[in-house]
Amino acid sequence: MKLREIVKLLDAKVCIGEGRLDEDVEHAFASDLMSDVLTLKDTPMLITGLCNVQTIRTCDMATLDIIIIVRNKKVTEDMLELAEDNDMVILSCSYSMFKTCGLLYQAGIQPLF
Amino acid sequence: MHQEYTVIEGDFVNAGKASSSVKKTLKQMNVEPSKIKRVVVALYEAEVNAIAHAYGGKVLVDIDSDKIKMVVADKGPGIPDIALAMQEGYSTARPEVRDMGFGAGMGLPNMQKNVDKLNVISEVGVGTTVEMEVNF
Ligand SMILES: Nc1ncnc2c1ncn2[C@@H]1O[C@H](COP(=O)(O)OP(=O)(O)OP(=O)(O)O)[C@@H](O)[C@H]1O
Ligand SMILES: [Mg+2]
């Protein structure tokens, strides 16, 4: 599924990464626990409610570069800066984690496990 | 190549600076991406531990053409029972640490999984040193 379609489906805001919206996404992982994100061998899109610099840094370390922040949490300037340095995409949507995951799953995005 | 970084207690904003810089260096050296990921994930876990559980410390990195050696040495309370700390799920993390998305007791086991050599040396009341090696 194209990122552009995901933005539409979730009625999301593109915080950064406008230039990558034609890329395809197949897999997603949802967690607020960065400890868990660090155990992934693959590099899925991340859906998370944890919205701070550590979220972005953890993704950088785990080489995940597409992040969906749920529940309209405020994406700060320092998060955007770090994301820009690493050519990441950050989408922000107002839906809950549950609804976001449900919509994406229904649309064919695959889980890792 | 030798690199040194300082980590400061509770400084979550800068947690990962060392790992991030190591990541850039290894990329420039054209190290295989899956290896880079193993190195930086393990180093980041150790860095976060020094910030979360100790009073900060030093990160020493030595890179040559066939391997990387990393040492994260902190001044801190030390780990009374290393075997227990290595168990998945064991954590004494404070609420502030959990608020940052850490404290699941997965870090040390994750380091073990990602590196070729792990050595944890700790003295209660003095500090902890984590030594890791990954072969390229
Ligand atoms: N540098 C350290 N100094 C003192 N205690 C430590 C140190 N590193 C680890 N520990 C102890 O070992 C426990 C387990 O560490 P581990 O990294 O596996 O999990 P965690 O840091 O609690 O959570 P996570 O890594 O999943 O975010 C810690 O909760 C802490 O009690
Ligand atoms: Mg840890």
Q: Phi, psi at residue B74, to the nearest 5°?
A: -120, 160
Q: Mind listing the pLDDT tens digit for each residue in B94-128?
A: 999 999 999 999 999 999 999 999 999 999 999 99
Whole-number Cα distances in Å, B38 to A29, A57, A63, B42, B115: 19, 15, 10, 6, 7
- CATH 3.30.565.10 assigned to domain B2-135? The reply is yes
C-alpha distances in Å from residue A2, one per residue of A27, A63, A92, A99, A103: 12, 20, 16, 19, 14
A113 occurs within a structural domain: no
What is the domain-level CATH number for residue A67?
3.40.1390.20
Q: What's the pTM?
A: 0.96
Cα of A78 to nearest chain B Cα, Å: 9
What CA–CA distance (Å, rounded) separates A88 from A69?
13
Evaluate whether A6 touches A29 at the Cβ level (below 8 Å). no
On the CB side of B66, CA atoms within 13 Å amount to 0
pLDDT of B71 over the 90 cut: yes
Does ligand 1 have an atom closer than 6 angstroms to the CB of B77? yes
- Mean pLDDT in residue range B42-55: 96
A16, part of any domain: yes
Instruction: Answer whether A78 sits within 8 Å of B110, measured CB to CB.
Output: no
Q: Where are the domains of chain B?
A: 2-135
**Cα(A84) to centroid of ligand 1, in Å?**
30
pLDDT at B116: 98
Task: With cut-offs at 50, 70 and 90, classify the pLDDT of residue B14.
Answer: confident
Chain A residue numbers with beta carbons less than 8 Å from the beta carbon of B105 are 35
ipTM: 0.92
Residue nearest to atom 23 of ligand 1 (CA): B103
Closest approach of chain B CAs to the CA of A38, in angstroms? 6
State the Cα–Cα distance between residues B51 and B8, nearest whole angstrom.
6
Structurally, chain A folds into a number of domains equal to 1
Residues in chain A: 113
B52 CA → ligand 2 middle, Å: 8
Residue B12 pLDDT exceeds 90: no
